[in-house]
Amino acid sequence: MTNSCFRTEVEKIKGYLVQLRREFHRCPELSMQEFETCKRIKTALLECGIEPERDFSEPAVVAVLRGTAGSGPTIALRADMDALPIVEKSKASYTSQNPGIMHACGHDAHMAMVIGAGIMLNEHLYQMCGNVKLIFQPSEEVYPGGAYSLIEQGVLENPHVDAILAHHVQSHIEVGRIGIKTGNFMAATKEFTLSVKGKSGHAAHPQRGIDSIVVAAQIILALQTIVSRLTTPTTPIVLSVCTISGGTKSNVLAGEVTMCGTVRTLDDSLGEQVRAQMEQIVRGITQSCGASYSLKFDGGYPAVRNDSSLAMLVKQSAAKILGQKTVFEIQEPSMGGEDFAWYQHHRPGVITNLGCGNTVKGIVAPIHNEHFDIDEDCIAYGAAVMAQVAWDYIDP
């Protein structure tokens, strides 16, 4: 294979990719409802001569770029497609046209980047000794995640995927910069629902009832000792109770309180330990108060661990596009979760943090915020980096 300069090539399609991203942004769709998004992606791929595969049920789109210069490895480029149930507060011309739904996590940009990488690589099939698989995945935001379903459908086979890459835009990183964390990058996640059942009664006679709010308050405080007292202080753990509801009237003791929250750890096995400790604490407090409980966990996502060899290649390839000084190693892992981890359970993978912020332009709102937006220069940068990584992986 001869060398290709994707940094230059991406300039030819930069405007088109920005247009695509704005189309996606105007028409966001929630998890597992991304059917119109799929149609637009398929149209975009077909317009540039890329035929989507027919083996995967919507909402998902998969396409394979098959090199004709010889056999070789296959690398996958993944983009998530779903939006969030957030009311957008923006005066941009491309603001969401679907009330109460917003691309507040940058998935619109991710899709445009993978399409852009596909367009560029498709022009070099005659030079490629290997394949590139484009994966447009639904439902990253909702457990168990679209990645899990696609893997079960065989997305990592035919051809066999040897490695996988994804970007995630971040507005706290300036546009033109990219961060890669080698090893442990994002947390394993478990969501829980805890119901405390007491005995309702008149608030004037608390001795005749079992106040589930008082029981719940004790539990919330006691659960924090798992982080502060029952685990090693140097071990990152997040245990947060994020919603609480109970009671019907100001003079009636609450008969039941329901709480929801999340547990985040960088070690999958530690999550099981925390779960057992939660069960022990909740059981002890409810029994001592004469109450009962129900504690349920969903399966959660495993931890994201970036493959060290692939991470090194991504850094080298990104430097060819962005410059050596703009590529940096992320020092601290994130306690956020990502269903990209499912792919990494099967294949070496790397997910980056790609800068999309611009303090001069006031583009600083974080992801999952109603004011979130991106500096659209990041789309061309992300597409070019993906194309370069794929190129370098196929021809090391």
CATH code: domain of residue 39: 3.40.630.10
The pLDDT score that the predictor gives to residue 323 is: 96
- Rounded to a whole number of angstroms, the CA Rg of the chain reads 24
The pLDDT score that the predictor gives to residue 395 is: 83
Same domain, yes or no, for 74 and 196?
Answer: no
Looking at the 3D structure of the chain, how many domains does it have? 2
Same domain, yes or no, for 239 and 358?
Answer: no
Is 1 a member of any domain?
no
Cβ neighbours of residue 310 under 8 Å, at least 6 residues apart? Answer: 163, 165, 348, 349, 350, 393
Beta strand extents in the chain (DSSP E only):
61-66, 74-80, 131-137, 163-174, 178-180, 183-186, 188-197, 237-246, 256-265, 292-297, 304-306, 327-329, 349-357
pLDDT by 10s per residue, the chain, length 396: 556 789 999 999 999 999 999 999 999 999 999 999 999 999 999 999 999 998 898 899 999 999 999 999 999 999 999 999 999 999 899 999 999 999 999 999 999 999 999 999 999 999 999 999 999 999 999 989 999 999 999 999 999 999 999 999 999 999 999 999 999 999 999 999 999 999 999 999 999 999 999 999 999 999 999 999 888 888 899 999 999 999 999 999 999 999 999 999 998 889 989 999 999 999 999 999 999 999 999 878 999 999 999 999 999 999 999 999 999 999 999 999 999 999 999 999 999 999 999 999 999 999 999 999 999 999 999 999 999 999 999 986
Same domain, yes or no, for 236 and 334?
Answer: no
The pLDDT score that the predictor gives to residue 396 is: 64
pTM, whole model, 2 decimals? 0.93
Same domain, yes or no, for 272 and 350?
Answer: no
Closest by alpha carbon to 111, among 11, 28, 12? 28
Q: Residue 29 is part of which domain span?
A: 6-185+304-394
The pLDDT score that the predictor gives to residue 232 is: 85
Residue from 88, 141, 256, 376 carrying the catalytic annotation: 376
The pLDDT score that the predictor gives to residue 248 is: 96
Residue from 94, 148, 293, 301 carrying the catalytic annotation: 301
Same domain, yes or no, for 274 and 330?
Answer: no
What is the C-alpha separation between 118 and 116, in angstroms, rounded? 5
279 is annotated as an active-site residue: no
Q: Among positive and negative, which fits the CA dihedral 200, 206, 207, 213?
A: positive
301 is annotated as an active-site residue: yes
Same domain, yes or no, for 342 and 389?
Answer: yes
Q: Which of 252, 268, 297 is the last residue of a domain?
A: 297
Same domain, yes or no, for 334 and 220?
Answer: no
